[in-house]
């Protein structure tokens, strides 16, 4: 089987860009690779301002590969716009980025589904609704055996001890059980601004899924051990295994460099 390659970016936070050349650096790098897809798992903006969305849209237009994007909690109208936040929370996202609620992408041997966890009635943790869980089941259950299944969501669906105390989406446990039941291989998320890759076991399905939590790709809002550090991921998959490479921005070199690569056998 040919190798399939995905770039995973998250938490761009236009409005809080870390370095003058970092956006161009990441665009140049992903365009120089033979990518099948670029995934962005939310928080394209800092305060959902139109000028921030315009900058994010320009970045997406500059990327050559197909893209799949889901919103994050910072892409929702802020609390000082309460009516907009409650009744059309992603109005600017839909205008500048995409009107697609649950984007998907498929190639032979690969299926990727995005789910929106950012809602105006939540604060930070997000929410996965019943409609989204049905969408996950309907999309992945009908796939052939052996297809590499990837779920994209901004918020986390489980606590990860290595990341310290953190919020998770409402209905996270039952949503993660659905992911296990349909055999998802990889969950791409962000939100915490710390780059971390970890396999977990989902019960009661007894299914292993790898969680790839991307750091902030371009902003100055890194946290914890990755404060002021920028990361994105490259996922490469063949029939038997897949790797997740964490790539870190070096401000002195003004480019991204390989930080760590983890390999996982398909199960």
Q: What are phi and psi of 167, to 5 degrees?
A: -80, 155
Q: What are phi and psi of 38, to 5 degrees?
A: -115, 120
**Hey, what are 60's tokens?**
């997406």
Burial code of 204-222, b = ≥16 C-beta within 10 A, e = fewer? ebebebbbbbbbbbbbebb
pLDDT at 1 over 60: no
User: What is the pLDDT at residue 204?
Assistant: 78
Please give the Cα distance from 190 to 156 (Å, whole number). Answer: 7
Task: Work out the end-to-end distance of the chain between its first and last CA atoms, rounded to an integer number of angstroms.
Answer: 16
Apex CA 262: angle with CA 259 and CA 264, to 5°?
165
pLDDT at 228 over 90: no
In the predicted model, what is the mean pLDDT of residues 103-117? 97
User: What is the pLDDT at residue 239?
Assistant: 81
- At 267, the pLDDT band (50, 70, 90 cuts) reads confident
User: What single-letter DSSP state applies at residue 161?
Assistant: G
Q: For residue 82, say if its preceding peptide bond is cis, omega within 30 degrees of 0.
A: no
- Three-state SS at 239: coil
In the predicted model, what is the mean pLDDT of residues 219-228? 89
User: What is the pLDDT at residue 81?
Assistant: 65
In the predicted model, what is the mean pLDDT of residues 158-175? 94
Please choose, from the candidates 40, 65, 64, 66, the residue with its C-alpha nearest in 3D space to the C-alpha of residue 53: 40
Count how many Cα atoms sit within 13 Å of the Cα of residue 34 in the half-sphere of its side chain: 4
**Low-confidence winner among 51-65, 86-100, 139-153 (lowest mean pLDDT):** 86-100
Please give the Cα distance from 256 to 266 (Å, whole number). Answer: 28
- Three-state SS at 25: helix
What is the residue-averaged pLDDT of the chain?
94
Neighbours of 105 (CB within 10 A): 18
Distances from the Cα of 184 to the Cα of 83, 109, 175, 201, angstroms: 37, 13, 12, 12
pLDDT at 224 over 90: no
Task: Pinpoint the alpha helices (H) of the chain.
Answer: 22-32, 50-62, 82-87, 91-96, 130-141, 172-181
- At 144, the pLDDT band (50, 70, 90 cuts) reads very high
pLDDT at 32 over 90: yes
* Domains of the chain: residue spans and CATH: 4-265 (3.60.21.10)
């Amino acid at each position: 089987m040919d190798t399939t390659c995905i770039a995973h970016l998250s938490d761009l936070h236009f409005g809080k860009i870390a370095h003058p050349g970092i956006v161009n650096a990441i665009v140049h790098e992903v365009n120089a690779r033979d990518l099948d897809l670029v995934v962005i798992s939310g928080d394209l903006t800092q305060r959902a301002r139109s000028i921030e969305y315009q900058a994010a849209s320009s970045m997406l237009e500059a990327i050559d590969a197909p893209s799949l994007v889901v919103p994050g909690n910072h892409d929702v109208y802020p609390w000082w716009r309460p009516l907009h936040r409650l009744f059309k929370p992603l109005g600017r996202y839909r205008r500048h980025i995409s009107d697609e609620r649950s984007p998907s992408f498929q190639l032979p041997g690969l299926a990727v589904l995005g789910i929106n966890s950012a809602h105006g009635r939540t604060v930070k943790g997000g929410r996965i609704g019943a409609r989204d869980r049905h969408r996950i089941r309907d999309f992945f259950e009908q796939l052939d055996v052996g297809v590499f299944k990837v779920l994209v969501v901004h918020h986390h669906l489980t606590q990860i001890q290595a990341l310290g105390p953190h919020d998770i989406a409402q209905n996270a446990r039952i949503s993660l059980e659905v992911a296990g039941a349909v055999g998802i291989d990889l969950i791409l998320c962000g939100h915490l601004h710390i780059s971390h890759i970890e396999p977990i076991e989902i019960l009661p399905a007894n299914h292993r899924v790898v969680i790839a939590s991307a750091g902030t790709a371009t902003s100055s809002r890194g946290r914890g051990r990755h404060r002021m550090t920028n990361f994105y991921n490259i996922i490469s998959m063949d029939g038997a295994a897949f790797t997740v490479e964490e790539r870190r921005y070096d401000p002195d070199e003004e480019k991204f460099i390989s930080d760590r690569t983890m390999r996982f056998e398909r199960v």
